[in-house]
Each structure stands twice: as C-alpha cells, then as structure tokens.
C-alpha cells in the first residue's frame, strides 16, 4: 500500500532493557529500530489516541499468556479504529516475550506520537499498529538493514556460497514450522562458526513467508554482502546472520 512508503525511520542504540528471566531481573544492552508511518503535523484525534493506548495495553496483557503471537483491535468507530499485532522470537519464553512487548509498546508511544501507523523491531519481538486493517496482508516495506560496520568478511565469497545456502535452507524450513521460524549454526572451512535466523509473522501464509524472507535475502546483496554480521527487518518477516550465538536456550534447528 502507498502509505507504507511514507515513513520516518529512526535508529536508536544503547538502550537498556530490563528482562525477567528465571525469576531474576537482568539488564541487557540492546538496540532497536522503529518506523513512524504516515507522519503528519497533525496529531491523531483524542479518540484514536485513547483507542491506541487501549490497544497497546491489550497487546501487552495478551503477550503475558500467549504462545508468542497476537493481534487485536480497539475502537468501534471505523474512523478511529486501531489494528495492532505483535510476535516474539520463537526461542524466547513467555516472560521475556511479555517484557519485550510491554517495552516496545511504550517506546512506540514515545517515538511516534503523531503517527496513525508505526512498527518497532526489538531483539526479541516486533510490535506494530495501524489505522488500516493489515491482518493477513504480506507487508515487506519498510525494509531496514542493520549491520556491524567493523566486521567485514575475510573471504569475499563467503556470502555467495555458505551463507546463501544456509539462509535459503532456513527460508524453506522456517516458513513451514508452526511458529514460522528457523535457526541454524554451521562452520566455514571447519573453523569459523556462523549463526542464522529467520522468522515470519504468523498472520501470513507459508508461501507469503517464503516470499517475504526471499526478498530480504535479495536485499543482502545491496547492503551487507561484505559483512559478517547483519540483520534485516520488515513488518512481516525478519532475517539475521551473525558470528556469535544469539539463540535463547540454545535453540538450533536443522535446515
């Protein structure tokens, strides 16, 4: 849809996120990305803002007991109705999912106060909302890359061979699982470890998931071909490639 191209992307680093894990509070240094869509100089109506606040509260509450995915609406008046969705990484527990959605909802209110639509990507979850019904619609824009500029490939052909094989395998496997995610660790020349991750929002079909992830993989050629560490985010799917293990609870699957 045309409105998805009208966005403001902000880059935020070094954000402290308090997560409850194993009944103890740990503070992790994390970063996140967000996109404020349909930016306007006029703030949404008071009714819309109230509905949005109620929606964020509903999503946060739902994530405390869900299996990592949920969508909700708020408001009966079509002109002020809000649609919202979240999904958490397939390897995190309910407590961490809830903490992530709760903090993401708060951050969206801080960074996009005058926007009828927005999306935020956090290391453990994605939260988005809109005044248009996007449920079940494949949404691949905006696509936002993130990479470590200091870690260039030592082998120019690494991505073309090993990484592409890994990520293509993960796309095929991850898009077919119930949670629509897949992870894998593999070795380059038997000495260097690489870790891959793919995940889709569970409101789209398996075929749409494959399409979304395949498009992200194509974007790697434009942004990250010479990088050892990169992540690419879109509203409907996420892809990660790293040199260090980042899976929670050692979750690794075979592509």
Residues contacting residue 165 through CB under 8 Å, at least 6 positions apart: none
Length of the chain (residues): 255
CATH class, domain 144-250, is: alpha beta
- Domain positions in the chain are 2-130, 144-250
Q: Tell me how far apart the alpha carbons of residues 135 and 252 are, in angstroms, rounded to a whole number.
A: 29
DSSP 234: -
CA-CA distance, 39 to 56, in Å (whole number)? 19
Distance CA 186, CA 68 (A): 27
- Mean pLDDT score across all residues of the chain: 80
Residue 202 in tokens: 């569970």
User: 3-class DSSP state for residue 36?
Assistant: strand
Confidence at 149, pLDDT banded by 50, 70, 90: low
What mean pLDDT do residues 109-123 have? 92
Confidence of residue 12 (pLDDT cuts 50, 70, 90): very low
225: CB partners within 8 A, 6+ apart: 159
Task: Judge contact between 26 and 155, C-beta under 8 A.
Answer: no
pLDDT of residue 165: 78
Distance CA 150, CA 14 (A): 17
Query: What is the average pLDDT across 188-192?
Result: 70
Determine the Cα–Cα distance for residues 90 and 108; give it in Å rounded to an integer: 22
Does domain 2-130 match CATH 3.60.15.10?
no
Q: Do domains 2-130 and 144-250 have the same CATH topology?
A: yes
- Identify the band that residue 111 occupies on the pLDDT scale cut at 50, 70 and 90: very high
pLDDT (mean) for 215-233: 82
The model's pTM is: 0.82
Query: Cα–Cα distance between 63 and 98 in angstroms, integer?
Result: 5
Per residue in 18-50, pLDDT (tens digit) is 333 332 222 333 478 999 997 665 678 999 999
Cis peptide preceding 132, ω within 30 of 0: no
């Amino acid at each position: 849809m045309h409105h998805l191209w009208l966005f403001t992307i902000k880059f935020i680093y070094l954000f402290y996120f308090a997560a409850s894990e194993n009944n103890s509070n740990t503070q992790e240094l994390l970063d996140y990305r967000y996109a404020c869509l349909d930016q306007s100089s006029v703030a949404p109506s008071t009714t819309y803002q109230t509905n949005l606040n109620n929606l964020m509260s509903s999503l946060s509450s739902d994530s405390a007991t869900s299996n990592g995915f949920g969508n909700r609406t708020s408001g009966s008046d079509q002109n002020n109705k809000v649609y919202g969705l979240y999904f958490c990484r397939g390897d995190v527990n309910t407590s961490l999912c809830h903490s992530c959605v709760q903090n993401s909802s708060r951050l969206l209110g801080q960074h996009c106060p005058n926007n009828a639509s927005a999306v935020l990507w956090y290391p453990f979850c994605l939260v988005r909302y809109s005044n248009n019904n996007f449920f079940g619609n494949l949404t691949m824009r905006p696509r936002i890359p993130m990479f470590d500029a200091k870690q260039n490939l030592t082998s120019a052909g690494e991505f073309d061979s090993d990484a592409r094989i890994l990520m293509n395998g993960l796309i095929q496997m991850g898009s077919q699982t119930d949670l629509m995610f897949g992870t894998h660790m593999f070795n380059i020349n038997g000495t260097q470890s690489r870790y891959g991750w793919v995940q889709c929002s569970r409101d789209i079909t398996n075929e749409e998931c494959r399409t979304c992830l395949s498009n992200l993989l194509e974007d790697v050629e434009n942004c990250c071909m010479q990088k050892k560490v990169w992540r690419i985010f879109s509203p409907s799917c996420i892809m990660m490639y790293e040199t260090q293990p980042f899976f929670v609870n050692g979750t690794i699957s075979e592509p």
